Structure 1
Amino acid sequence: MNIENTRGRHRAPGRHNPLIELKLLARESAQPAMKAGAVVAATGGLVATFANPASADTLKPASGNVAAAASADSAAPAAVGPATAAAPAASSALSKIGFAPEAQQAVAQRVSTSKPEVIEDVQVQAQRAAAKAAAVKAAAERKAAAARASRDLTRRTLTSSTSSAKASFNGSVPGASAGMRASSNWATAGQCTWGALNKWYQSEGYYPGGWTGNAMAWASGARSAGYTVSTAPRTRSIIVLQPGVAGSSSVGHVGWVTAVNGNQVTMIEMNATAGAYNYDTRTVTLSGGMSFIYAP
């Protein structure tokens, strides 16, 4: 007679093996929690199986203590086994190494909401402001010194270039007196008068003033303003040409004298051969109708 060994509850009589049953239950469980419950249940069954023979025979009726036997039967548990505990919650790999999402989120919020506090040093700011002001002042002083040096060089060059001419042409050049000054170039831009005043400023550092009018009236106007006016040519002076003299127009012409060689006078002039707003250099022969406004 062949006896079929069927797995599970429907097994053949006499074929039950508790250890094989445990292995089958553990292998067939898909989740860790189900495995733990199966093992616990199976373990309780095993304990009950092995415990029942030891406790089956308690008190015999011959002992005469029927009440004790009844109380022992009522107090004995039907099955002995450990209590089934709740399945543990599934844990993540990060929680096993101490990662707590709530704590990390709280730290991130504190870091994101906190703002750096900038503390300004008033003393350092004052020192920086003072250093900047000193640098600006030093730059302005250097610029002014360079302008003065340029004017002095121009003055020395113009004076030395005609020293021999002064001795041969005119043994006595009158001293120059200082006249009135202007705050800006008051002549019409692009004209010969504007060009002559601009050259005066580049040489002397200020604009002469105290008179107005066309070029032919400059000699008398400068004399009235306190300047020395002479017919003897000299460097560092404005040459005044009356109408028609050396090609001047009907309103006269002016220029800045840069050299004198005998009766040859070299000047820089604007609005002449080069046109308005442009300078050119020209040498003319000394003649009547010419006068010179000396710079002090």
Structure 2
Amino acid sequence: MRAAVVTEFGGPEAVAIADVEVPEPGAGKVRIKVAAAAVNPVDGGTRAGVFGAAPGGAYTGLGWDVAGTVDVAGAGFAAGEAVVALVHGVAKPLGSHAEYVVVDGTAVAPAPATVDAVHAATLPLNALAADQALGLLDPAPGTSLLVTGAAGSLGGYAIQLAAARGVTVTGLARESDEELVRGLGAAFTTAPAAAGYDAVLDAAVLGGEQALPWTRDGGAFAAVIPNTAPPPVRGIRTAALDVRADGTRLAELARLVDDGVLTLRVAETYDLADAPKAHARLAEGGIRGRLVLVP
């Protein structure tokens, strides 16, 4: 089968389409025939060598998000069932940017019923990250939350999930994104007030030096990169996200898509063979929604 991999780290040109063996599922695993797989910034980091190489392999796989159909039944999923999953790991021998992928059954969930596979593929990583980051902050209904990077995929999901819980959300983004951010359910700002928010979710990765001062005394702050929580000051509780696969919660997020709570945004689609072009577009930045590969 074909898979997008890197054998030498570098720029978008380092992404290669390799002919590799179809992975075999072991106990508790599910093999998915990939219909669509989103490209995320973490894939660019993997390609560039930020996380190192897959142990013991000749190449490192790419891709965290997958939507497709169960190819080999297992872990309670039937062959042919439409599913989504998070293929976790920054240095793995094979990711979701392939024709088939094997994942742990606990990472798999039924796909949303109201969208196609291309849109469904944008859900797992960013929606789980937003949900788990909000879990770190635990904002109560009626409290205020600032989301940086509000126009991005993670930020957008965080706005919608928090607003659905009764949290008063403000999104920080470029002026050109005001309509988008307001449409997601947040107030809009380009200049947050100092110590003005009960909680801050730094989806833009601005860092504690810039974003922590927007948190009120005794509030909460969450970073979205592991091990990057700033030291607590002014009684602020700080934490950093280390996203984890969770098929049970992913199924609930898929239901929120069907209920109209979460909006799935696709920026562009590419054939799997054009994965290097997708990485080049990713590197340009300014993407609203996700780039999606289709085998």
Q: By percentage of residues, which structure has more helix?
A: 1
Whose radius of gyration is greater, 1 or 2?
1
TM-score by length of 2: 0.19
Structure that is richer in strand per residue: 2
TM-score (norm 1): 0.19
Q: Does 1 or 2 have the higher relative contact order (CA < 8 Å, sep 6+)?
A: 2
